[in-house]
Amino acid sequence: MPLKTPEEYLESIKRPVNLYMFGEKVEDFWNHPIVRPSINTVMKIYELAQMEEYQDLMTAKSHLTGEKINRFTHIHQSTDDLIKKVKMQRLLGQKTSCCFQRCVGFDTANALYSITYEMDKKYNTNYHERFKKYWIEVQNQDLMVDGAMTDTKGDRSKRPKDQPDPDAFLHMVKENDEGIIVRGAKVHQTGFLNSHRAIVMPTLRLREGEAPYAVSFGIDTNAKGITMIYGRQSCDTRKMEEGKLDIGNFKYGGQEIFVVFDDVFVPKENIFMKGEIEYSGELVNRFAGFHRQSYGGCKVGVGDVLIGAAALVSEYHGTEKSSHIKDKLVEMIHLNETLYSCGIACSSLGFKREAGNYEMDMLLANVCKQNVTRFPYEIGRLAEDLAGGMICTMPSQADFNSKEVGHLIEKYLTTCEGACAEDRYKVLRFIENLTMGVASVSYRTESMHGAGSPQAQRIMISRQANLEDKKKLAKNILEID
């Protein structure tokens, strides 16, 4: 079946949903000025998959059907697949300079593929066959799938079963021969509104007595009982103003959704985990590993654009030949390529699971994400340094276009020969957008909290580091018994 075109994708998401923004219900969300840039970003994925020059990165051959598919629906079959995933994510970051919203579902599918196989082997269930059937539909229809993990968590000093409100963690409330009914909420849902489907998973390792919370399933994002509330971001209402210069990245954008599940029915054939608490933690770990690998690609691509903008504004200021300017750009490049190196390294050292799919090296994936919690902040700081104070004190586009004062702004914003005031304005607003505005949510803040907080990676690094073997190395050299 052919890959979806951008236009076909756009038509496929024009469906009724229960969406709220600024306290009001939103109809025809695909036309809303705050939502539309995030849709443009997803459309770019479908566009690049159609282009011959990007076929090797953007598409793959399905091991389930033998058909050509979008790589975002692929189950990794080699370390080469893992490497191409990271390269594809860097490419998309370069093309959109924002979060492109498809990584979470991609990483969820690859984690669930091996987990369902192992659960079936132990419990004689049929989760793996269910999942394969479900995922073949995703591949054949070229669907966008979100991955829904993060619960609201309530009182974080208490376990899910001890919460004053049991809905603080999404859980199963009823079950019958046809399926289950679930209740709860998932937050920080990247691209949920723009997705056709979502795969829900637990958010942490569960214990005895918490079986109702150990659920994983596939669901249509417009299913009955699902309410979406659009996440607020800094400077987002600039997209509703006349003109586009004040937006910064006026073409593309990310999206975060607060999703409420109010007694949502899940058919039996779409359930991939139901009460198997001992596999909940491993599902979380494997998903987190895949997603931490992803940050070695996507954030690097956005970093490439930010570095380019910082270099460009230095030219506009006439400072590009100064040694300290060159040194700061070199430092930005060094940090960015270090992140990429980690993404490639954890992919290159990937291994084959019993289910047949490939997984990245868990230790290096966590090292990759630990670096991502730090380096984009320094890259952003250096970009702000090179941009200068005008980045946060510039007049509005309305003033720039004003008959009364526009000519004054143009006169005094003009710098060196060949750099017009409007181009300088665009680049400064773009850097503002990436470091302080809407895009900073997906670049800096998501670098900190996406795929788990910094402490989550440090815990995994501690578990994977194998200190006992390292102590033996020292003992062997020192001849200590």
| Domains in the chain: ranges and CATH | 281-472 (1.20.140.10)
pLDDT tens digit string along 283-337? 999 999 999 999 999 999 999 999 999 999 999 999 999 999 999 999 999 999 9
Which pLDDT belongs to residue 5?
Answer: 97
Q: Exposed (0-12), middle (13-18) or buried (19+): which is 393, by Cβ within 10 Å? A: exposed
Q: H-type helices in 322-389, by residue range?
A: 323-348, 362-372, 375-387
Residue 1 pLDDT grade (very low, low, confident, very high; cuts 50, 70, 90): low
Please confirm, yes or no, whether 295 is among the known catalytic residues: yes
Evaluate if residue 238 carries a pLDDT over 90: yes
CA atoms of 61 and 64, how far apart (whole Å): 9
CA atoms of 211 and 177, how far apart (whole Å): 18
| 159 three-class SS | coil
Q: Which of 210, 276, 359, 446 is catalytic?
A: 446
Which pLDDT belongs to residue 437?
Answer: 86
Q: Which of 113, 295, 425, 443 is catalytic?
A: 295
Q: Which of 190, 203, 221, 373 is catalytic?
A: 190
**Which pair of tokens denotes residue 19?**
């969406």
Q: Which residues, other chains included, contact 180 with Cβ-Cβ below 8 Å and sequence gap of 6+?
A: 172, 174, 215, 217, 265, 266, 268, 271, 274
Q: Which of 76, 96, 103, 432 is catalytic?
A: 103
Asked which of 136-140, 324-328, 436-440, 452-456 is least confident by mean pLDDT, the reply is 436-440
**What percentage of the chain carries pLDDT values higher than 90?**
96
Do 47 and 252 touch, CB atoms closer than 8 A? no
**Arithmetic mean of pLDDT, 72-80:** 98
pLDDT tens digit string along 153-190? 999 999 999 999 999 999 999 999 999 999 999 999 99
Taking residue 51's Cβ as centre, other Cβ atoms within 10 Å add up to: 9
| 134 three-class SS | helix
Q: Which of 98, 99, 342, 346 is catalytic?
A: 99
Which pLDDT belongs to residue 114?
Answer: 98
Q: How far is the first Cα of the chain from the last one, in angstroms, to the nearest whole number?
A: 64
**Arithmetic mean of pLDDT, 44-72:** 98
Please confirm, yes or no, whether 337 is among the known catalytic residues: no
**Arithmetic mean of pLDDT, 247-259:** 95
Please confirm, yes or no, whether 291 is among the known catalytic residues: yes
Do 93 and 126 touch, CB atoms closer than 8 A? no
Evaluate if residue 429 carries a pLDDT over 70: yes
**Arithmetic mean of pLDDT, 61-84:** 98
Q: Which residues, other chains included, contact 308 with Cβ-Cβ below 8 Å and sequence gap of 6+?
A: none
Please confirm, yes or no, whether 420 is among the known catalytic residues: no
Residue keyed to tokens 């200190």: 467
Residue 445 pLDDT grade (very low, low, confident, very high; cuts 50, 70, 90): confident
Query: What is the overall mean pLDDT for the chain?
Result: 96
Q: Which of 210, 256, 276, 384 is catalytic?
A: 256
Evaluate if residue 2 carries a pLDDT over 80: no
> What is the value of pTM for the model shown?
0.96
Please confirm, yes or no, whether 67 is among the known catalytic residues: no
Taking residue 120's Cβ as centre, other Cβ atoms within 10 Å add up to: 17
**Arithmetic mean of pLDDT, 435-457:** 89
Please compute, for residue 404, the number of CA atoms within 13 A of its CA located in the half-sphere on the CB side.
Answer: 2
Do 328 and 306 touch, CB atoms closer than 8 A? no
Amino acid in position 110:
N
Please confirm, yes or no, whether 256 is among the known catalytic residues: yes
Q: Which of 98, 235, 298, 346 is catalytic?
A: 298
Residue keyed to tokens 């994400």: 369
Q: Which residues, other chains included, contact 130 with Cβ-Cβ below 8 Å and sequence gap of 6+?
A: 116, 269, 270, 271, 272
Do 47 and 228 touch, CB atoms closer than 8 A? no
